[in-house]
A = this chain, B = another copy of it.
Amino acid sequence: MKKPQTIKTVSGMRTLSRKAKAAGKKIALVPTMGYLHEGHVSLARRARKMADLVVASIFVNPAQFGPDEDLDRYPRDFQGDLQKLASAATDYVFFPSVRELYPEGYQTHVEAEKLSRELCGAFRPGHFRGVATVVAKLFNIVQPDLALFGEKDFQQLRVIERMVKDLNFPVRIIGVPTVRDPDGLAMSSRNSYLSATEREHALSLSHSLFLARELVKQGETDPKVLTERARRWVSQNPEARIEYIEVRDAETLEPVKKIDRPCRMLLAVWEGRTRLIDNVRLNPKNN
């Protein structure tokens, strides 16, 4: 297993991309914040199948963290990340410093305004603006033909798709299904924050979503019934703090009154000091 080559500068990355494109190579980008898990690796593996050159970026993006969030304690393991990316035959790791991406005088932002205020955006003001901005930068630096994002961060996926469409980025966006631990917990770098007890309680997130999916399969079409049932399940642990549990249109993420088209149930719940998110597809019975 050959370790991917590390590139730290914008100019280095740009030179490499320019050469690859001049040679007619297809470039895939896997943007990450590092501390990779099997979810990330599945993105890298998928990228490997779709492109000639696979670039993963590792950048803990300050612009997408709020002032009271976990930027300072966000977990990091660069050597472990390189190993995992090597196992997926990733060619390059773009690993810039904060100063490299946000130099003195930096002041430009990109925002998909409507989508950014919904769901997680309502609780994390500026978060999706930070995400859209750094992804726009990565697209301009790496110039990928395609970029892969996990469905675990479903709203992020929709924000990126919207930005790409609205700003006409020549990049194809690929959403890749959430990877879960065998007991159902959605993989997340933030799971490393959880104590054993918290992790056990955290199972209620995915399980409440699976319950909703099952009810829809059985014919339930009322979002209120589903969110109420999910809310009750999660609340069995009295310490869980629910930010939101919602059913939305799977494309626009707008609220729905009835599950009569592809929908998504999404939630954000705090277990102790750890904020977790998860979501599942809800397809109406005869769709």
A residues whose Cβ falls under 8 Å from a Cβ of B: 10, 14, 18, 21-22, 24, 105-115, 132-133, 136-137, 140-141, 143, 162-163, 166-170, 252
Contacts and interface: CB of A to CB of B under 8 A. Distances in A.
A166 B113 contact: no
B10 A168 contact: yes
B109 A111 contact: yes
Contacts of A162: 105, 107-108
Contact of A108 (B22, B107, B166): B166
Question: Interface majority SS on A: helix, strand, loop or mixed?
Answer: helix
A182 to B, nearest CB: 39
A63 B221 CA distance: 40
10 contacts: A14-B168, A18-B170, A21-B21, A22-B24, A105-B252, A106-B166, A107-B115, A108-B112, A109-B111, A109-B113
Residue with the highest number of chain B CB atoms closer than 10 Å, among A114, A115, A136, A166: A166
Contacts of A108: 110-113, 132, 162-163, 166-167
A229 B111 CA distance: 42
Contacts of A21: 21
Given A108-B110, A109-B113, 6 more contacts: A105-B162, A109-B110, A137-B166, A137-B167, A137-B168, A143-B170
Contacts of A163: 108
Contacts of A14: 168, 170
A240 to B, nearest CB: 33
Residue with the highest number of chain B CB atoms closer than 10 Å, among A108, A141, A167: A108
Contact of A107 (B24, B109, B114, B170): B114
A24 B169 CA distance: 20
A72 B203 CA distance: 57
A131 to B, nearest CB: 12
A170 B110 contact: no
B110 A110 contact: yes
A109 B114 CA distance: 11
A19 to B, nearest CB: 13
A202 B69 CA distance: 54
A114 B166 CA distance: 23
- Which 6 pairs show the lowest CB-CB distances between chains A and B? A108-B166, A140-B168, A107-B114, A108-B112, A141-B168, A137-B168
Nearest to A115: B107
A29 to B, nearest CB: 13
